[in-house]
Amino acid sequence: MLAERVTEWTAQWKREGHQEGREEGREEGLQEGEAIFLLMLLESRFGALDETDRARVLRADSESLLRWGARVLEATSRADVFKP
């Protein structure tokens, strides 16, 4: 009986782990897509980016990427996009 419960618990933990892994993977994929799209917008609007700006975008969280993406529409420079 205990062996059966251990087997059930193990199966449940595996299912939960797989679900969490899929969710994290989706979030990371979405964030990577946001970063790539923002890089495309920035380069289209302001020309080639330096490595500092490129690295900053690639390291950013989703909230920052969305905020900067909205700023691209009205910014007159890259500095305007990244202002605090």
Which tens digit of pLDDT belongs to each residue from 67-83?
Answer: 999 999 999 999 999 99
69 contacts: CB under 8 Å, gap ≥ 6: 34, 37, 38, 41
Q: Which two tokens stand for residue 69?
A: 């993406």
> What is d(CA 35, CA 83) in angstroms, rounded to the nearest whole number?
17
What count of other Cβ atoms lies within 10 Å of the Cβ of residue 34? 20
CA angle 79, 81, 84 (to 5 degrees): 80
Q: Does 16 have pLDDT greater than 90?
A: no
Average pLDDT of the residues of the chain: 86
Q: Does 18 have pLDDT greater than 70?
A: no
Position with higher pLDDT, 17 vs 75: 75
